[in-house]
Amino acid sequence: MARHQDGFAQLHVVSSGMITSLEIAASYRARTRGLLGRDTFEGALLLTPATSVHTWHMRFPIDVAYLDHHLTVLTVRTMRPGRLGLPRIRARHVLESAAGAMAEWGVAPGARVEILPSE
């Protein structure tokens, strides 16, 4: 898979056909910032490369999907603020969204996602 750069794209959930906006955080600085300091978030944030996340200083609960190198979902967790997620050994990327969004989109273990160019 190609290396990503910070920026914007679209997330396509293959099984459900759902498409939403995607922010890509590929640099150390962007991954470190993540969703911190935001009151809400529409769409999804891809942290790449990443194997774990934390929600210290977050203002709202988030859904976290751990993805392998083929962008297949390994597991999905909802995390409240102030938590530390355990690293997932096979994970290469982490997808974050507001709590409840991933269930609406059909993001579940075994689902595949694609990154499409921004329109």
Quote the pLDDT of residue 2: 60
Domains annotated on the chain, with CATH: 7-117 (2.60.120.1140)
22-45: pLDDT as tens digits: 999 999 999 988 888 888 889 999
Chain mean pLDDT for the chain: 94
Q: What is the pTM of this model?
A: 0.94
Q: How far is CA 115 from the centre of its chain?
A: 12
Beta carbons of 38 and 46 less than 8 angstroms apart = no
Answer whether 19's CB lies under 8 Å from 11's CB. Answer: yes
Peptide bond into 49 cis (omega under 30): yes
Which positions of the chain have pLDDT values less than 70? 1-2
